[in-house]
Amino acid sequence: MNIPLLKKALSNPLALSGFIIIMVVLTLSMLAPFIAPYDPNDINVKAILLEPSPQHWLGTDGLGRDVLSRMLHGGRISLLVGLVAVGISTIIGVLLGSVAGFYRGWTDTFIMRLVDVMLSIPSFFLILAVIAFLTPSITNIMIVIGLTSWMGVARLVRAEFLSIREREFVMASRTLGAKDARLIFTHLLPNSLTPIIVSAILGVAGAVLMESGLSFLGLGVQAPQASWGNILTDGKEYIQFAWWLSLFPGLAILVTVLGYNLLGEGLRDALDPRSNACK
């Protein structure tokens, strides 16, 4: 993905909006230790369930903790889980999809049947079942989400390899004696990067939602460590009179997921020649 194509993608207003949203969220999350007004785990019994005010911009929770500080620190956890989980799923999907698309035959059949079996099981319930047998932690959440989310990437990479492996430049390299590893890493994989990148960006949004859902159910990031999901969980107990505890983490999840989706769709429109040809 070169600079001109990236500029073309960001010329799309929706993609640019998504890029700006993601940069703002990432910047705020990375700077959380420096810009958070309070310690996110600092309990203050004199400030329980205070409404948003100049002292506490987003109010306080049932233990008197500052919601803004917990939101900033929680963003680091939610985004870390999303990025690492997508990294794991992308690596697995690229490896299996490459092997299936390049070698075809019984290897392709075996991997694709494995993909079909995994897709036949609802991902969220599969993750719930696995997490139920493990100790809920950030590391376990990232690994489990990554290990149960690679199927779409594998199918995408396989389809790209099946298309590219029959092109003239690949046939010429094979004729000149290029080995399989060289064909895969020098010719096939670089020409498949665009859809992989788009898929990974869209996958981060799904992973953030998955982590938030697990934390909301009490199976994700555990207290006192903050994530948007467990902040939302804390708010459900006071939803009738402490609206800010549910509104702000919900908006953070919504805006972040929207940003990744806008950027992913914008990159797809700009970098996919088939979509450009249809316009």
CA dihedral 196, 202, 204, 210 (to 10 degrees): -130
Tokens of 217: 């159910």
Cα–Cα distance between 235 and 93 in angstroms, integer?
37
Q: Average pLDDT of the chain?
A: 85
User: Which amino acid, 112?
Assistant: M
What pLDDT does 52 receive?
92
Q: Percent of the chain scored above 70 by pLDDT?
A: 93
* Helices 138-147 and 123-132, axial angle in degrees (round to 10): 140
In the chain, where the domains are located: 3-277
* pLDDT > 80? residue 257: yes
Q: Which superfamily does CATH assign the domain made up of 3-277 to?
A: MetI-like (1.10.3720.10)
User: Which amino acid, 257?
Assistant: V
Provide mean pLDDT across the span 101-129: 87
Pick the more confident residue, 192 or 3.
192
Pick the more confident residue, 216 or 209.
209
Among 241, 215, 248, 244, which Cα is nearest to 229's? 215
* pLDDT > 50? residue 130: yes
CA distances from 87 to 73, 96, 115, 194, 231 (A): 21, 14, 18, 15, 25
pTM: 0.85
* pLDDT > 50? residue 278: no
pLDDT in tens, 67-100: 999 999 998 888 888 899 999 999 999 999 999 9
Task: Name the pLDDT band for 279 (thresholds 50, 70, 90).
Answer: very low
Provide mean pLDDT across the span 33-53: 90
What pLDDT does 4 receive?
62
DSSP string spanning 146-167? HHTS-HHHHHHHHHHHHHHTTS
Cα–Cα distance between 71 and 57 in angstroms, integer?
11
What pLDDT does 72 receive?
93
Tokens of 76: 């680091």
* Helices 105-120 and 151-164, axial angle in degrees (round to 10): 150
Pick the more confident residue, 2 or 53.
53
pLDDT in tens, 135-162: 777 888 888 889 888 999 999 999 998 8
Q: Percent of the chain scored above 90 by pLDDT?
A: 32
Provide mean pLDDT across the span 210-229: 82
pLDDT in tens, 57-75: 999 988 889 999 999 999 8
What pLDDT does 273 receive?
53
